[in-house]
Amino acid sequence: MSTYTQILYQLVWGTKYRQKTLDKKNQEKLYKYIRGLIEKKKCLAYQINGIEDHIHIVVDVHPTVAVSDLVKDIKLATTKWIKEEKVFPRFGGWQNGYGAFTYSIKEKDRLIQYVKNQEVHHAHRSFLEEYVEFLEKAEIDYDSRYVP
């Protein structure tokens, strides 16, 4: 018997101290690099986007991949790549932790559009406000001292 899954996540994390170090001109290079990392893990990236202080990834995670390992590998590889390629000279690293929120496949198109429109969303609210909203909508108990 074959294994069939649909494990749709929105992964979200910020730069260290939410510093605005992901300059717009090189963001697409970063997203392309992340897409390659995701594909090597047999996962499917539907959408990657963000702004200067955080990123969002809409991804179908392969059943053999732990989300925590996927995020850890992306963070480690991108930190090394950013430093080697010097694409974001002020980048000081990623925040500790991340958000991983699951969605029904029926929400995929809406979620992709949401991630595509990050600049629009953040014209009116900060990453912190957005992140807290995700936590609250998902009914996740959190300690505000440890929110990114």
pLDDT number for residue 2: 82
Q: What is the rounded CA–CA span in Å between residue 33 and residue 79?
A: 11
pLDDT along the chain (148 residues), means of 10: 88 96 97 98 97 98 96 98 97 96 96 94 87 90 81
Q: Considering the domain boundaries, does residue 3 fall inside one?
A: no
Q: What is the pLDDT of residue 99?
A: 95
Which CATH number goes with the domain that contains 118?
A: 3.30.70.1290
- The answer as to whether 55 is a domain residue is yes
110 is written with which tokens? Answer: 């809406």
Please state, as a whole number, how many other Cβ atoms lie within 10 Å of the Cβ of residue 68: 10
Question: Does residue 2 sit within a domain?
Answer: no
pLDDT of residue 75: 98
Total structural domains in the chain? 1
Question: Is 56 a domain residue?
Answer: yes
**Per-residue tokens: 60:** 């179908």
Q: Determine the structural domain holding residue 102 and report its residue range.
A: 8-146
